[in-house]
Chains A and B, each alone.
Chain A
Amino acid sequence: MLAAGFTKSSVGKKLLMAATGLMLFGFVVGHLLGNLQIFLGAKVLNEYAVHLLELGPLLWLMRGGLLTALILHIGLAVNLALENRKARPTGYSFRASVQTTYAARTMMVSGVIILAYVVYHLLHFTFRVTNPEISSLHDAAGHHDVYAMVVLSFKDPVISGVYILAQLLLASHLSHGFGSMFQSLGWICEGNEYCMKKVSLAIGALIGLGYISIPAAVLLNMLTVPGGAG
């Protein structure tokens, strides 16, 4: 068990930030792998969606776990940011930095925008509130046509644009967050502390590009709906 006072300690909170970040990162990777199946065609993606729903209680367990991780991650971030601000009541009149990055300095901004996007994203694809006319189609097998929903949505340059922007911010958030996770958990690669900075940057870029590839393929007409409603 964790010792008393762990969650009150700044280092303890950082460790929890990292642990919850790791869970959310796991989701981001899993979700990307699931989404990329769109390139395997409508049948594969739609059946994957059915399998996912068939997980039943396990799916709700994962959703519950992720929601808890998300709430903890955000709550701790706000708490730490407020404490950090209190730690320097008078700032410097001449501000400068040596080796911090833009991504590191804008973690709160990228985080808040990603959160807002996640809410919209859920309303769009999960609760199907924002575009009901294209979100509840069915394929030949009678399954929910996820493929058509995604492709028809991304035909709209505004939806694609917002999605791409959100993924760029996610890439930025992860480019700092991934390495920070390992530093906070003390899992740094011994002897090459700086490799993690590069790995982190690569992971951020890879995840961002992976997600962006989907709307990009739709806009470039590489993914189309057979029968051509779009």
Chain B
Amino acid sequence: MNLTLHVWRQKSADLGGEMVRYDAKDISPDMSFLEMLDVVNEGLDQKGEEPIAFDHDCREGICGMCSLTINGIPHGPDRGTTVCQLHMRRFKDGDSIHIEPWRAKAFPVIKDLIVDRTAFDNIIRAGGYISASTGGVPDANAILIPKKNADDAMDAAACIGCGACVAACPNASAMLFVAAKVSHLALLPQGAVEAGTRVKKMISKMDEEGFGACTNHFECEAACPKEISVKFIGKMNREFLKASVKK
């Protein structure tokens, strides 16, 4: 199949960028989206042009490294899928595809389609450690945890920190990410001890990094490759209120 690509090209963080048109020829529908870009880059390399820079690592949909906004939707049109697991059969021959980096003040573009997601690491760091000494792997059921809490904590912990929620949000808000991180620890007895201070510190860091606020469009949930539910944002709001009222 043959496609027309419109790709954001930006030499470095401090230089401006623009959308550049490329033709992607003889693409197999069985290729992943990133493999398609590899083919385009090979062509660019042969012509002596600078290849398109994009983030990728595991290419198995679990690392959270790939970060492309495809036709306005982070990670492309499939739900619960990272770009590396998106396949070209999802597109039609002759399609035009717009590829842009995550867009947020807190995620500055480093080059082309690569953004700096250090802001997420800073939020995690602000959350701090849990003081409960967990030691080795505990015996099953030594600490009793309600099934629902265990399931919810696991669902929240599925977050791979890719930043698609921020990219999808009309306000570039990081609420779904922070909510997932806050919730998965707050739901378990070891993490519940510091739940109050953690939620306040992480939200304050989130604001400091320049992310927007939530206006409940729920676009984040639709873009999330791990399909993390917006119910965790409600839970985070509740945790924050609880922690704020206490003192």
**Considering the chains assembled together, what is the distance between the CA atoms of A15 and B203 in angstroms?**
13
Q: Decide yes or no whether A225 CB sits under 8 A from chain B.
A: no
Given contacts A15-B237, A15-B241, contact A3 B247 (CB under 8 A): yes
Q: Decide yes or no whether A142 CB sits under 8 A from chain B.
A: no
Q: Decide yes or no whether A1 CB sits under 8 A from chain B.
A: yes
**Mask: chain A, 83-97; 1 = CB below 8 Å from B; 0 = not:** 110111111111111
* CB–CB B244/A183 < 8 A: no
Given contacts A87-B212, A188-B231, contact A97 B100 (CB under 8 A): no
Q: Decide yes or no whether A56 CB sits under 8 A from chain B.
A: no
* CB–CB B231/A96 < 8 A: no
Partner of A193, one of B69, B73, B173, B231: B231
Given contacts A183-B216, A193-B230, contact A86 B105 (CB under 8 A): yes
**Considering the chains assembled together, what is the distance between the CA atoms of A98 and B220 in angstroms?**
9
Closest-CB distance, A25 to chain B (whole angstroms): 15
**Considering the chains assembled together, what is the distance between the CA atoms of A9 and B211 in angstroms?**
12
* CB–CB B103/A90 < 8 A: yes
Closest-CB distance, A205 to chain B (whole angstroms): 18
Contacts of A2 in B (CB 8 A): 244-245
Q: Decide yes or no whether A10 CB sits under 8 A from chain B.
A: yes
Chain A at the B interface: SS class: loop
**Considering the chains assembled together, what is the distance between the CA atoms of A201 and B222 in angstroms?**
20
Q: Decide yes or no whether B217 CB sits under 8 A from chain A.
A: yes
Contacts of A15 in B (CB 8 A): 237, 240-241
**Mask: chain A, 1-40; 1 = CB below 8 Å from B; 0 = not:** 1110110111111110000000000000000000000000
Contacts of A165 in B (CB 8 A): none
* CB–CB A10/B103 < 8 A: no
* CB–CB A84/B171 < 8 A: yes
Count contacts on B: residues with CB < 8 A to the other chain.
54
**Considering the chains assembled together, what is the distance between the CA atoms of A97 and B170 in angstroms?**
9
Q: Decide yes or no whether B236 CB sits under 8 A from chain A.
A: yes
Closest-CB distance, A154 to chain B (whole angstroms): 35
* CB–CB A100/B100 < 8 A: no
Given contacts A11-B236, A86-B210, contact A92 B100 (CB under 8 A): yes
Closest-CB distance, B204 to chain A (whole angstroms): 6
Q: Decide yes or no whether B215 CB sits under 8 A from chain A.
A: yes
**Considering the chains assembled together, what is the distance between the CA atoms of A184 and B241 in angstroms?**
10
**Considering the chains assembled together, what is the distance between the CA atoms of A92 and B100 in angstroms?**
7
Q: Decide yes or no whether B207 CB sits under 8 A from chain A.
A: yes
Contacts of A183 in B (CB 8 A): 214, 216, 230, 233-234, 237
**Considering the chains assembled together, what is the distance between the CA atoms of A9 and B212 in angstroms?**
11
Q: List 9 A-B contacts (CB under 8 A).
A: A15-B241, A80-B215, A84-B171, A87-B104, A91-B103, A94-B71, A96-B73, A97-B219, A101-B217
Residues in A lying within 8 Å of B, measured CB to CB = 1-3, 5-6, 8-15, 80, 83-84, 86-101, 104-105, 107, 176, 179-180, 182-188, 190, 193
Q: Which 7 A-B pairs have the closest CB atoms?
A: A186-B238, A96-B72, A87-B212, A84-B171, A98-B222, A94-B98, A100-B217
Given contacts A10-B211, A187-B238, list 7 more A-B pairs with CB under 8 A. A90-B103, A96-B71, A96-B73, A105-B217, A179-B216, A180-B215, A186-B236
